Amino acid sequence: MSNTWGETASLTIFGESHGPCIGAVLDGIPAGVSLDWQAVSQEMRRRAPGRNELSTQRREHDVFSVESGFFNGFTTGTPLCVRIANEDQRAEDYARLQHIMRPGHADYSGSVRYGGYNDYRGGGHFSGRLTAPLVFAGAVAKQILALDGIAIGAHILQLGNICDRRFCSLGKDKALFGRLSQNALAVLDPTKEEAMEKAILQAKRDGDSVGGIVECMITGLPAGMGDPFFDSVESKLSHMIFAIPAVKGVSFGDGFALAAMTGLEGNDSFYYDDGGRVRTRTNHNGGINGGITNGMPVLFQAVIKGTPSIAKEQDTIDRSSGTNCKLSVPGRHDPAIVQRALPAVEAAAAWTVLDIMLTAKSGRPYDGK
C-alpha cells in the first residue's frame, strides 16, 4: 500500500475517518516560501462537512496544526507536516457494518485486500474524509504556483441531469476562479444553482444521492511542461485525480466529444498573438499535445458518482455468516458529494502541477521565475 505520490514534491496522506486524526506530510516544498494560513483555512472550509443542508451533518471544522517545516513565517525546506483532528466521530454507527458490506464502498474489496484488518468505521482510510489533508496540500501548492502566475479553478459542470455551461477554454476571465470559490454551488450560470439545489434536496428526501461532473481549468502553465507516454501531463493528473474517492472518469479538453469530430474539427490551429506568443484559436485538446503543455489553459473534467451511502434498501452480503442480506445506511451522509469534491479536484491538480514544475526546475530555489 502506498500513501505517497509525487516525484519532486511528494505527498503522504495518513489517518482514518473515525481515528483520532488525519493529516499529511508535504515533502519537497522549497525553502523561503511565505504561506497565508488564512487562505489555506478558506480552502479547507470549502470542503468541510456540515456547512449547510446540502451536505452531511457531520461537523468537522478541519482546524489544522502545522507540526513541522514552517518557521519564522517561511517554509524551511524540510517536510511540512499537518495534523487535522477528527472532532465529530460516531464509530458506534458502524459497529454492525464490520461484516455487512456496503454496496459502492471499498468495504468488500478493502477487507479482502487487507485480510479483514482494515478500519471499517466510516470507510477508514478509504473515506472521503481523507480529502481534507489533500485540500490542505493543494492550498499550499496553489500559493507556490501563484508565484509563477499559475491559477487553478473549477465549477460544477453537471449535477444529476442539470448542466452548467462550460469554461471558456481559452481562459480569458482572470477573476473568475475567485468568484467561483465563494459559492456553495460553484456554477458559471447562476440560473442553474436553484435547480441543482432542488435536485440535491430531492435526493436527500428520497434517501438517495446524485452524482455529477467537475470541470477544472489550469491557467498560466508555460509550454513545454511534461513528458510523452508514461509521464504525460494527462497521465499524472489522472493518476492524482483518481485518488479522490468517488471519481470514476477523467477526460481532457473536449474529451469523449472528440470521437464525433473529424481531425480538422478536433485540431487546434496555431497563431502568433500581438505579443509574439504562440497561441491556439481553439482548445479542443485541453492545452496538452503529446503529453506536454502547449501554453494554453489545461482543461479537464472529472466524473463524480453519487454518494454510495444511501438510506434506500439494497442487496448485499454478510461475510460473517456467508449469507445474502439487505442493507440501508441511515445517518449523516452527503446527498451529493460533487460540491465538496470540487476543491479536492482543484487541490489534486495543484499538487500535480507543483510536482511537474518543481521537477522541471530541478530543485533550484523557488523564485517564481
Binding site listing for NADP(+): 47
User: Could you tell me if residue 115 is left (phi over 0), alpha (psi between -120 and 50 degrees) or otherwise beta?
Assistant: left
> What's the one-letter identity of residue 118?
N
- On the CB side of 12, CA atoms within 13 Å amount to 11
For the chain, give percent helix, strand, coil, nearest 5: 30, 25, 45
* Rounded CA separation 191/193 (Å): 6
SS3 for 274-316 is: CCCCEEECCCCCCCEECCEECCCCEEEEEEECCCCCCCCCEEE
DSSP SS3 for 13: strand
Looking at residue 220, the DSSP 8-state letter turns out to be: S
Q: What angle do CA 18, 20, 25 make, to 5 degrees?
A: 105
**CA proximity to 180, closest of 216, 147, 139:** 216
* Rounded CA separation 23/250 (Å): 26
367, 296, 293, 133: CA torsion to nearest 10: 60
Looking at residue 182, the DSSP 8-state letter turns out to be: T
**CA proximity to 225, closest of 211, 242, 216, 237:** 237
The binding site consists of: 47, 125-127, 290, 305-309, 332
Q: Which three cell numbers stand for residue 213?
A: 461532473
* Rounded CA separation 322/250 (Å): 36
Residues in the chain: 369
The binding site for FMN consists of: 125-127, 290, 305-309, 332
Looking at residue 8, the DSSP 8-state letter turns out to be: S
